[in-house]
Amino acid sequence: MSTKHLLEPELLPLLDALPAFSFTDEALPGIRTGFSGGAELGDAHAQGVIRTERQVSLKNGNSEPVRCLVYQPKEAAVEHPGYLHVHGGGYVLGAPEGSDEANLRICAELGITIVAVAYRLAPEHPIPAPLDDCYTALGWMHENAAELGLDRSRIGIGGESAGGGLAAATALKARDAGDYALCHQHLTYPMLDDRTGTPEVPGDPLVGEFVWTREANQFGWSRYLGGAPAAAPQVPARADDLSGLPSTWMLTVGLDLFRDEDIEYARRLLAAGVETELLVYPGGCHAFQALPGTVIGDRYVKDHLHGLRRGLKVDV
């Protein structure tokens, strides 16, 4: 059954630009090349942003160095907010360079420091490596807050798809460890539940036709888990207790495979007393915002910035 008639007509060109992924271990290197081939760094100077590449690690020496792109406003307020960004790619694809345009815009418009983490990818590096890398980047932001000009009480985390899943996982780990505080998590159609799209939990047949399918999801989760048990924090939806997590902004769309797991996670956050805002756009599919010049994409940019400004208490 095709769901193309339910897709916003302005998004139809996206189906040719981003056809549904057909993953195998043999095809993965080629998919990675195609996925990252179009990423070009923007003109940071023209937007009043200083972008540097850093190798970060924790002062206790218990972590591998992690490559990050760091975005800072040329004219930043003293003790301004920080945002740890985690890129998407189903846990098997991507790099922070792919989010450069968005991170430049956010840095320039909100006047915040952004650290975009190049976490290790599965299947070469299954759990716990990707989450360890994100946690290392978060710890580095806290340990170097004075150098970066950050207010430690206003550090948030966010990402899209698998990046949103890793952001949620990092928030769980940070809550449980108690070492590095987060004030906010900012999740765009996050990838939270390994059960979604399996034969046991196929979900609504009206979701998951475009870009990121059930088959792609099973591939991504299986390579990310690498044979380990599916458990929190790496699988956020399997966490028994969501209390004590930071304020949450979450967006999902009507035709995304993750729609229902995202709505359920938001419901559980609300039930746990976590300040939560959930947006559900009708007619959208996975990666909808990758197509430039659309009404739904422009709405996302506005809502995303507004939610992040509020979550990080910008201009307070």
The catalytic residues are: 161, 256, 286
Q: Give the distance from CA 18 to its chain's centroid.
A: 19
Separation of alpha carbons 250 and 277, rounded Å: 6
CA distances (Å), origin 182, targets 109, 113, 262:
21, 15, 20
Separation between Cα atoms, residue 172 and residue 240, nearest integer Å: 11
Alpha-helix runs per DSSP H in the chain:
12-17, 28-36, 100-110, 129-143, 145-148, 162-177, 214-225, 259-271, 295-311
> What CA–CA distance (Å, rounded) separates 260 from 254?
9
Backbone angles phi, psi at 150, to 5 degrees: -95, 150
CA 115 to chain CA centroid, nearest Å: 13
Q: Give Dmax over CA atoms of the chain in angstroms.
A: 55
CA dist 190 and 177 (Å) reads 22
CB 56 within 8 A of CB 140: yes
**How many Å is the Cα radius of gyration of the chain?**
18
- Residue pair 179/208 in contact (Cβ under 8 Å)? The answer is no
